Amino acid sequence: MKHFTFLLLFVTSIALSQIKFQVTLPSNTPANDLIYVTGTFNNWNPADPVYVLHLNNQTGFYEVMIPQGTGTFECKFTRGSWATVEGNAAGGYRPNRTYTYSSGPQVIAFPILSWEDLGTGAAGTAASNVQILSNSFGIPQLSTTRKIWLYLPPDYATSTKHYPVLYMEDGQNLFDNVTSFSGEWQVDETLNTLFSQGNYGAIVVGIDNGGGERLNEYSPWVNPTYGGGHGDEYAAFLANTLKPYIDANYRTRPEPAMNALIGSSMGAIISTYAACEYPNAFRKVGNLSPAYWFALSDMNAYINTLAPSVLQNHRMYFVSGTNESTSMVPDVNTVRNNLLAKGLTAANAFTKFDSYGIHSESYWKGEFAAVYTWLFQNENLAVTTPTFETPKIMQTLSGKIYVEGMPTATDFEMFDMLGKKIKNITLSNGMYEMPEEIAKGIYILKSKNNDIKSFKLIRN
């Protein structure tokens, strides 16, 4: 283990005080990485050069200075980004550290138990058909990046099948006990078992939560006590950046009926919202112990603005414990009833309240198989080719775009490989030059209505 100590000098107009922090780092901390402290005192900048720890050659410890404050402060340690933030004892998400400023000297221990991107160094529990798609997949809508997990069915490499896709929140809790917050869902083991029993199979895309930004990103609306308000941008990332990338690079069924959003607690809020906001991208939702209380009035007001039949082809599963909170059951029923008023049919809305249900990964792990199988039980998955429109879009050797079999002029959006939207373009049958203003690189062309498979384009 590496041992570091740093002193934070607090100066006020009344007194001079010091806080001494003793820091222990995991043994797998890269030797050349800089360690930063970030928190409420610097607007949570994870790589602020003012707050990098520096070696004191006389003491052998690393030290950093931050200004004095009043009340409480929150902080975390990073190696320069939120993708390399400290983790808990299992290598998963660790809540913010909270401490109270004092006018007198203090000694406070900050043991860093792991780094989220590296885990604890212990062996992981993820199955062999789980991979890390990216440790820093771009979220241009929020000017940040995120770790993305990818589960491929056991026969993906040996078949030509196209699969439905589950987009699941809190990715660090889905596959690996090392990275989980308090135990994993065993999504991979569950799906592998179902596959061995004859299930068609599905692709799973797990998106890590943003740690300290989780509440902000998982709610489009602001809770005056807990935050929120960035869910609209996050939902746009799911529909307009991540899904087009997955559809362009893997054998998916991109039709909205073949794409599900699944989340628990706050993850259920953003799943419900994104499926309503982007009905041409996602039409299946798994809501486990949804934390609708966080923005209940705003959620219901939003649902009331939807077109009367917008959810007529959606399918939603609601499950929670009866004793999770006094408001859980009535909140779920209220939201469900409002969704029914917007076209969701009773046959496509399954609700289950369990006396044994608790607000934890262990409960959601046990419910996942039922959620997944019910959502897709009426779908004809056993096809070798998707049922969406497949016009021929290709590039010539000179880089021109050739289109054939397009029924009508269709609006497309062009994204770069970081997920940033570059340009709108309308295509019909014929030959087109690549836009001159597009820089060299690889791009994804996605139809705005998501009724045509995404395509790769290359600018040489």
Tens digits of residue pLDDT in 198-247: 999 999 999 999 988 999 999 999 999 999 999 999 999 999 899 999 99
Cα gap 246→254, rounded to integer Å = 9
Handedness of CA 8, 13, 15, 16 (dihedral sign): positive
- pLDDT for 102-118, tens place per residue? 776 665 667 778 888 88
Instruction: Using the predicted structure, report yes or no on whether residue 11 has a pLDDT greater than 50.
Output: no
- So what's the pLDDT on residue 10? 35
Instruction: Using the predicted structure, report yes or no on whether residue 82 has a pLDDT greater than 50.
Output: yes
More confident residue, 54 or 188: 188
- Average the pLDDT over 162-169 and give the result: 97
pTM over 0.75: no
Instruction: Using the predicted structure, report yes or no on whether residue 127 has a pLDDT greater than 80.
Output: yes
- Average the pLDDT over 306-315 and give the result: 93
Inter-CA distances, 434 with 264, 349, 407, 446, Å:
43, 45, 21, 15
- So what's the pLDDT on residue 167? 98
CA angle at 116 for the pair 140 and 9, rounded to the nearest 5°: 95
Structure tokens at 389: 């429109």
* In contact, 204 and 166? CB cutoff 8 Å: yes
More confident residue, 200 or 10: 200
Strands, sheet with 130-139, edge to edge from the N-terminal-most edge strand: 130-139, 144-151, 203-207, 165-168, 259-264, 284-288, 315-321, 349-354
**Helices 296-304 and 266-277 sit at what angle, rounded to 10 degrees?**
10
- Average the pLDDT over 283-291 and give the result: 98
Instruction: Using the predicted structure, report yes or no on whether residue 120 has a pLDDT greater than 90.
Output: no
Confidence tier at 7 by pLDDT (50, 70, 90):
very low
* In contact, 202 and 153? CB cutoff 8 Å: yes
- So what's the pLDDT on residue 141? 93
- So what's the pLDDT on residue 6? 43
Lowest-pLDDT range, 127-136, 150-159, 276-285, 438-447? 438-447
- pLDDT for 249-268, tens place per residue? 999 999 999 999 999 999 99
- So what's the pLDDT on residue 383? 65
Highest mean predicted confidence (pLDDT) among 52-66, 77-91, 355-369, 444-458: 355-369
- Average the pLDDT over 28-43 and give the result: 89
